[in-house]
Structure 1
């Protein structure tokens, strides 16, 4: 049975997204250590102790649910700086979510993140012909919510008591989406951010 989302490398000036592989594990652990991202209680960033299980889950989602996880690489330095994935894939309805995204602290809110989103959305809308792309985040993760809104995504609503966190605390999930008709404006917005502020931190 053919996959809707085939493994693909997406490459721009600032970032390269490559299919996640086992050999990326140590480099990803080092990236997560920049800022000790796993200590943020409302995120699911792997720690040195959980990176192997995180990798198992990501690759299992790829094999059984049609997801496509990526390793994020700084195109200028070659450093691994994070991970993201296409997930919650509904091929029959041409919908997917861009999620499980995290970056080393040093590259957060830089052109790397902006261009990564541009590459992922371009492939989703222009190649896969999706009709909608979702983004989901913890209600308490205000930084993530603001970043998703800056992309041009619209807030669809809040899924209350949506998940049980690793600490047993219930998670309310905020759902955003970009639909097919909105993609041209979102693309123009992302391209403008990269053109006018290509190296600095992006708002």
Structure 2
């Protein structure tokens, strides 16, 4: 029987471990690098007292309900730089989404995100035998769409008026996926890219 639990994953640029309440101060500091909470299409804790704690509590509630597995993300120096999670877990296929991802500005457009996604996607296919890994993002988040396409994911389509942003405006959701048979070749490309150009 496959056990779906939050793994600890580590590479040269990044490490991911289960999110817990002790990470509140680290997340607060990471979000402050770029004032990430001002981007309405992201789910990032704000600077107010209790925001990071509430963010973690919500993520852990999703974990306890069996619908998400949240991570704290650290850079090569061990500093907390953001968060990500598996969500929309469908064990019957199996299929999983990766999202709720945000990083301190200083780590964006570096090898950290590429390696984090490599570790997460590889775990989904190798350990959970997933048939597909899915990525979703707002129509306004062009940077995220570009990063997902760089991974080799294919655009499945757009869900119009699918959700609302934090400010209440409607969000069209761009959906991408990687299938099991596509992953070995994509993983090789990403590994070579990280070896040749560590800051991709």
Q: Give the structure-1-normalised TM-score.
A: 0.94
Residue of structure 1 equivalent to 2:121: 121
Report the RMSD for the aligned CA atoms in angstroms.
1.3
Residue of structure 2 equivalent to 1:56: 57
Quick one: distance in 2 between partners of 1:3 and 1:24? 28
Residue of structure 2 equivalent to 1:69: 70
Moved more, 3-12 or 175-184: 3-12
8 Å CA contact 1:4–1:66 kept in 2: the answer is: no
Which runs of no fewer than 5 residues in structure 1 stay unpaired? none
Do the aligned partners of residues 66 and 167 (structure 1) sit closer, same or farther apart at CA in structure 2, a change above 3 Å counting?
closer
Residue of structure 1 equivalent to 2:192: 192
Residue of structure 2 equivalent to 1:18: 17
What is the Cα deviation at residue 65 of structure 1? 2.7
What is the Cα deviation at residue 160 of structure 1? 0.8
8 Å CA contact 1:31–1:103 kept in 2: the answer is: yes
Q: Give the structure-2-normalised TM-score.
A: 0.95
Counterparts of 1:10-159 in structure 2 under 5 Å? 10-49=9-48, 50-75=51-76, 77-159=77-159
- Aligned partner of residue 92 in structure 1, secondary structure: coil
What is the Cα deviation at residue 53 of structure 1? 1.9
What is the Cα deviation at residue 34 of structure 1? 0.3
8 Å CA contact 2:95–2:133 kept in 1: the answer is: yes
8 Å CA contact 2:160–2:172 kept in 1: the answer is: yes
8 Å CA contact 1:84–1:99 kept in 2: the answer is: yes
What is the Cα deviation at residue 132 of structure 1? 0.1
Which runs of no fewer than 5 residues in structure 2 stay unpaired? none
Do the aligned partners of residues 142 and 61 (structure 1) sit closer, same or farther apart at CA in structure 2, a change above 3 Å counting?
same
Deviation track 1:33-86 (CA, whole Å, cap 9, x = no partner) reads: 0000111122221112332221111101100034210000112x1100110001
- Aligned partner of residue 144 in structure 2, secondary structure: helix
Quick one: distance in 1 between partners of 2:27 and 2:180? 32
Quick one: distance in 1 between partners of 2:92 and 2:3? 9
Q: How many residues align?
A: 198
8 Å CA contact 1:85–1:100 kept in 2: the answer is: yes
Quick one: distance in 2 between partners of 1:141 and 1:122? 24
- Aligned partner of residue 65 in structure 2, secondary structure: helix
Quick one: distance in 2 between partners of 1:21 and 1:43? 20
8 Å CA contact 1:5–1:67 kept in 2: the answer is: no
